[in-house]
Structure 1
Amino acid sequence: MDAQRLKENFAQVAQHGDAVALFFYSDLFLRNPQLRNMFPVGMSHQRDRLLAALGRIVSQVDNLHDLVPFVQQLGRDHRKFGVEALHYPEVGASLVTTLRYFSGRAWTEELARDWTDAYNLVAKVMLDAAQEDAATHPSWWNAQVVAHERRRFDLAVMRVLPDRPFAYQPGQAVSLEVPARLRMWRYYSPANAPRPDNTLDLHVQLIDGGPVSPVLVRSLNVGDWIKLGPPVGTMTLDERPGRDVLLIGGSTGLAPLKAILEQIAARPNPPRVHLFFGARYIDGLYDLEDLQKRSAGAPWLTVIPVVSDHDPGPAAEHGTLADVIGRFGQWQNHDAYVCGSPGMTDATVGRLLQFGLSQDRIRIDKYADA
């Protein structure tokens, strides 16, 4: 298998954009019409996910250290869709057909063998991980809404109780499905460290045009049931001692950072922690009261609210998160955790790198990419 040949071929195919995923799913459903019911009615989000996953796999095809954990997670996560071993060859056949079609005259027997070998390897890793996970975990958890509070017209904080133990690490995300939007799974990060009562807090902001967030914010009630998928993500706390911590969250990007904060607070000797919580307007700092209560009883914790789109006066710092962190010190010796929109995350990470913080001490989660 020639990794460079795969990368060059995928770069050529990817130039056709959404047409690639559209062709793939059309071919898959024509060959296997019984599979259509496993997917949502609207396929645009699903097509985006396909191209993103393929791009990541191909870009790391010669870096198994990083690729294998990602592919294993894909295998575990696909259990909630009802994917079984018999589906993998069907998907592989449609994938190779799609690649051949968009490669045109560049397609060769060598490329066919490379892609077949690569797909078979990925499929084996996914299937092995799924089968191992099935021995100890369900495909999904049913969870009941036990609290639901609207903090703004477009933002809600909810608490759910899974029907059986749900293990995760602070900073990870979980996918969820609501009955009103079947097969439209979306990722949200629990805003708390694991609790003895097994409940999870979720912070949800309404996304314009989003099919799931309006249901979660406006229509969900206490007593309703949702489904939870297995936890995913690597923005988890580095437990090595002697490392101060910098937490930077935009809007509901606060949620995983709040879970990490709870994990830190449980230590016998917590490190110094600076938490920057940002929003466009002052009412977007929806959880500031709770954060300030926590900091009042924790001398190791400093909370800095930030507002970007108008001057909040003494209530918060004014500016973007990327700008404000530069006014509050040097961060070279900190571990940084950043979560928010892609634009905010990229700008903030860029600023941290300018300050001299090394890339390996920065962990990120772009919630809009969930």
Structure 2
Amino acid sequence: MMIDIGLIRHSWLLVAPVAEKVTMHFYGRLFSEYPQIRELFPPAMDVQRDRLLKALTQVVLSLENGEPLGDYLGQLARDHRKYGVRPEHYPALGHCLVAAMRANAHGAWLPAYDEAWMSAYRYISEVMIQAAEQDAVHAPPSWIGTVVSHEMRTHDIAVINVEPDQPYPFRAGQYATLQTGQWPKVWRPYSIANAPRHDNRLSFHVRAVPGGWVSTALVRHTQPGDIVLIGPPRGMFSLNDARTPHLVFLAGGTGLAPLKALVEESAWSPERPSIDLFHGVRHSSEAYDMHDLRRLRAQHKRLRIIQAVSDEPEHWPRHTAVDALEYHRVIPDGDVYVCGSPEMVRHTTARLLAMGVRGERVHSEFSGEAPSFVPS
């Protein structure tokens, strides 16, 4: 299928400055023309109103990425089964998006733009529908998970272990979306903090975010025996991208979770890499996982752990994870994995590039991924 990326990008520039109006028009048209789609969304739309438009446009604008995007669309389609997305929903989204952009382009929208965008969405729909149909043969839309343990590690961080009702196939470094009984239809992503293991259990490090619906429910109102729903595994954060025998891991807060899973996986490798793990927290009381990390260090043999504390006046030196990297004169001569808040990842990546680390050697948890079509 021929898709004119140039036309798509040019037309998007017409409406990008009024993206909020496009979003409101899009949802109004979608829910009025296709009321059955409204049931896929949670009752309150304020948290996720803008995410769907961002997802739809980013995926189309990334169509030149070829095979990586195709793999991602397949993964996205498998994940969207948990929402109840059906084949007939895909063209509805594309139709309403094009109509919303056309209505807000101040008369500058051309018929050729319609065809370019719809051609792109027909392609996306075909890839995702086929992937979802193939996945339905051997996997459920979501897994029912039983909470087997819930341990408060700090005043706002809990380590939660969940046992899925069926085998849960994932790779170390991936994440899952969770739904709690308190918030039906509201899904939030959490990194899996362990590599696959024989008991099929998943560990999550969850910080209660102020105003966070799901995180607060998981940390404050969840106990052993409770049920959560688990979406299919997602993410491309893995040791498969590593090509060097020395790795540097930089974690901020609960960004430790996927890096811990990668350490666990590498401990089983006959040619395990040497790893310098820097875990940055604001206060020393937030170093919530030191017991498990020491256990991993004893098992791995080639793992060094350095705790960095940034905001505690009594602690010296006061460092972020990347500050500690420089302070300890560790040379990032191989692959570097970064995980934390978006701000932490941006700042750390910029510092690494300034040190001379090549961009392709810096891996972050959500790099190369587009958001989902149906908001999490």
**1:119 equivalent in structure 2:** 121
Counterpart amino acid of 1:251? Answer: G
Matched, 1:47 2:49: yes
Instruction: Please report the TM-score for the alignment, with normalisation by the length of structure 2.
Output: 0.92
1:357 maps to what in 2? 357
Equivalent residues of 1:322, 1:347 under 8 A apart = no
Name the structure 1 match of 2:108.
106
The letter of the residue matching 1:249 is A
Q: Gaps spanning 5+ residues in structure 2: where?
A: none
- Give the alignment of 1:229-308 within 5 angstroms: 229-238=231-240, 242-308=244-310
Percent identity of paired positions between Structure 1 and Structure 2:
38
What letter corresponds to residue 361 of structure 2 in structure 1? R
Identify which of 214, 217, 238 aligns with 1:215. Answer: 217
Question: For 1:299-320, what per-residue CA distance to the aligned partner results, in whole angstroms no more than 9, with x for missing partners?
Answer: 3110000111124547xx5212
**1:330 and 1:158 mapped to 2: Cα distance?**
33
- CA–CA separation in structure 2 for the residues paired with 1:302 and 1:65: 36
Deviations 1:238-288 (A, max 9, x none): 376652111111111000000000001111232211000111111111112
Deviations 1:62-106 (A, max 9, x none): 222332222222211111100111222222221221121122311
**Secondary structure of the structure 1 residue equivalent to 2:239:** coil
Q: Does 1:342 align with 2:329?
A: no
Give 1:298 shift.
Answer: 4.0
- Residue 115 of structure 1 deviates from its aligned partner by 1.2
Number of the residue aligned with 1:203: 205
Q: Aligned equivalents of 1:8 and 1:310: distance in 2?
A: 49
Residue type of the partner of 2:356?
A: G
Spell out, residue by residue over 1:179-226, the C-alpha distance to the aligned partner (whole angstroms, 9 max, x if none).
110111100011100110100110000111111111000001110101
2:308–2:319 Cα contact (<8 Å) kept: yes
Shift in CA distance, 241/87, structure 1 to aligned 2, threshold 3 Å: closer
Secondary structure class of the residue paired with 2:199: coil
SS of 2:272's equivalent? coil
Q: Secondary structure at the match of 1:230?
A: coil
Cα gap change, 1:103 to 1:35, in 2 (>3 Å): same
Alignment of 1:10-21 (within 5 A): 10-21=12-23
Shift of 1:334: 1.6
SS in 2 for 1:113: helix
The CA deviation string for residues 222-243 of structure 1, in whole angstroms up to 9 with x for no partner, is 1010100011111111376652
Q: Give the match for residue 191 of structure 1.
A: 193
* 1:89 alignment counterpart: 91
1:156 to 145, 158, 177: 158
Aligned partner of residue 213 in structure 1, secondary structure: helix
Partner amino acid, structure 1, of 2:140: P
Q: Secondary structure at the match of 2:105?
A: helix
Partner of 1:8: 10
Task: Describe the superposition over 1:310-355 as per-residue Cα deviations: whole angstroms up to 9, x where unpaired.
Answer: 24547xx521222221122353422111110111111111111122
1:18 positional shift: 2.9
Q: Distance between the aligned counterparts of 2:306 and 2:289, measured in 1? A: 12
CA distance in 2, matches of 1:80, 1:178: 14
Say which structure, 1 or 2, has more relative contact order (CA 8 Å, 6+ apart). Answer: 2
Give, as a single letter, the amino acid of the residue that structure 2 aligns with 1:210.
G
Structure 1 stretches of 5 or more lacking a match? none
SS where residue 27 of structure 2 aligns? helix
For the residue of structure 2 that corresponds to 1:51, the secondary structure is: helix
Native 8 Å contact 1:280 1:309 kept in 2? yes
1: CA distance, partners of 2:114 / 2:92: 16
- Alpha-carbon distance in structure 1 between the residues aligned to 2:69 and 2:104: 25
Distance 1:90 1:242 in 2: 46
Give the structure-1-normalised TM-score: 0.94
| Residue range with higher mean Cα deviation, 172-181 or 96-105 | 96-105
Secondary structure of 1:53's aligned partner: helix
Return the alpha-carbon distance in structure 2 between the equivalents of residues 237 and 203 of structure 1.
20
On the 8 A contact 1:282/1:312 being kept in 2, the answer is no
Instruction: Measure, in 1, the Cα distance between the counterparts of 2:31 and 2:321.
Output: 45
Q: For residues 320 and 241 of structure 1, what CA distance do their matches in structure 2 show?
A: 26
What secondary structure sits across from 2:233 in the alignment?
strand
Q: Is the 8 A contact 2:280 2:319 kept in 1?
A: no
SS at match of 2:256: helix
Hey, which bits of structure 1, 4+ residues long, moved more than 4 A? 239-242
CA distance in 2, matches of 1:46, 1:296: 43
Report the Cα distance in structure 2 between the residues aligned to 1:239 and 1:125, rounded to whole angstroms.
Answer: 25
- Provide the rounded CA distance (Å) in 2 between the counterparts of 1:280 and 1:274: 20
